Amino acid sequence: MKKALVFPGQGAQFPGMGKTLYEQSGLARAMFAQADEILGFEISALMFEGTEDDLRRTSVTQPAIYIHSVVSARVNDMDKQVQAAAGHSLGEFSALATAGVLAFEDGLRLVAIRANAMQKACDLQVSTMAAVLGLEDEIVEEVCASITDDIVVPANYNTVGQLVISGTKTGIAKAMELLKERGASRVIELAVNGAFHSPLMESARIELAEGISATPFSDAQIPVYQNVTAKPHTSSAEIRANLLAQLTAPVRWTQTVRALAADGVTDFVECGPGKVLSGLIKKVDRQLNTEQLG
């Protein structure tokens, strides 16, 4: 029996996140204090006492989820209990910190750079995302490719029958109509102000590249299945390249879960806020076991 640790991405945040860890663990309190100092504001106060609107700001959301996730893994000594790790989008940074690739503080600095760079990219171009339910991936890919006068691409392969597309506002509107015609059970525009994991994030990718090149990376102590390839990596050079490519490439989560299962992983521990990934994993394969560590 093999166990993998998985980490959620943006959208998993909630008011009060991380507060129980803070109250119960001296290690957690030290890590939250370190995070406040690195970021230059009391993100811990926003996490514990802030509103949903406070936590929805990208500059807060991404660091908050990273902090909660890594603190939870460290407090529970999960790095010593698993044989693999993976994270959904932002969650990949949490996976890398837990696998010994990034120091906690270095990962946090990179996440802050990423969040701010992504917000700037969103401000440059009116763009959005939409969830497509009930269609085979190949049909969604075909529809995206058929729109040649706008940018529309597959962004998140979340689970079987659920693929999120990303692009310009006009491009997404065209795709939504075509996907309904092709038989999608639902196509829902998401409440986001940007086209994550698309070519429209290129300016953010360039900005993040500077941060990644200046940050020390170590080889992974356990294999990390990365979003871009859905394959295990331990080489710090490969991990750097894949982490950077992730900003403009799709998150292959369905393929990642299948790859982990094919390599013998039967138990998935979701570490951090929420339980979104556990639900997605069960839809990929009901035989897989999931549990959550908040």
Tell me whether residue 203 is exposed, middle or buried, using C-beta atoms within 10 angstroms of its C-beta: 0 to 12, 13 to 18, 19 or more: middle
What beta strand segments (E) does 152-264 contain? 152-159, 162-168, 186-189, 224-225, 232-233
The one catalytic residue in 44, 89, 127, 166 is 89
SS3 54: helix
Q: Quick check: 62 and 194 in contact, CB under 8 A? A: no
Q: For residue 138, how far is the Cα from the chain centroid?
A: 23
Instruction: Determine whether 218 is an active site residue.
Output: no
Looking only at the bridges linking them, the beta strands covering 186-189 and 127-133 are: antiparallel
Residue 193 in tokens: 């102000």
Q: Which of 44, 68, 72, 197 is catalytic?
A: 197
Phi-psi region of 219 (alpha: psi -120 to 50; beta: other; left: phi over 0): beta
> What is the spatial distance between Cα 128 and Cα 165, in angstroms, rounded to a whole number?
9
Residue 8's Cβ-count burial label (10 Å; 0-12, 13-18, 19+) is: buried
CA distance 120 to 101: 27
**Is residue 197 annotated as a catalytic residue, yes or no?**
yes
- Pick the closest to residue 29 from 14, 19, 40 (CA basis): 19
Strand bridging mode 152-159 / 232-233: unpaired
SS3 label, residue 214? coil
Residue 138: other Cβ atoms inside 10 A: 8
How far is it, in rounded angstroms, from Cα 78 to Cα 294? 12
* Token pair recorded at residue 37: 């100092």
Catalytic residues: 89, 197
